[in-house]
Structure 1
């Protein structure tokens, strides 16, 4: 399973990318999550400008197997969304860590980032499920 070491992870299977000390992070679902979901057929795109709290559902992914909520791994305001997913939801399957990003969040509490899982901890979390 691909678990890029430069990312952080939530126990709900979202990945979080932060460039340097930026307070803006990119969010998507992990390879593990997309593999569990199967073929993604629809992604509910959140609205830019929406305030989110860590742990709150802010989006939904529908696959051939199920419908799953996407949870905010950090608190803040949705700054940008990946509109490509409206027409190409399969990007979550084909490129979950690249073109399959869901949104960016301007963090209101940057300290929350430090509480997220690193790659080794996320790998350990998912090993029992494989």
Structure 2
């Protein structure tokens, strides 16, 4: 997948399609409460995609328990739409995770994760949809 924006929606469309918390997180760069989303504890095999547009972001094979209270991954999925953007605040510089396809806010990336990458992609479960891995027959 190309890491360029290809989902064009008006803010009215986003408001109509997303729930209140989803809109707050995805479009207003909000953060859900820690330990509030079931994806934090989920261990099923599959792929995590953008709730806004369905673009692939992370694989369950890269998911780990960070203790942060948010679903965390040490790497992006192959062909992912993850894009990192610098987010400056008064006190810090953070790397924001956005979906390259629709520019939705997913979470933040920190450099305190496990090997082999040393990265922690700290995501809002609200910003993700889970696509289970098909079972082998």
Query: Which TM-score tier does this pair reach, normalised by the shorter chain?
Result: 0.3 to 0.5
Q: TM-score, with normalisation over the residues of structure 2?
A: 0.33
Q: Which has the larger radius of gyration?
A: 2
Give the TM-score taking structure 1 as reference length: 0.34
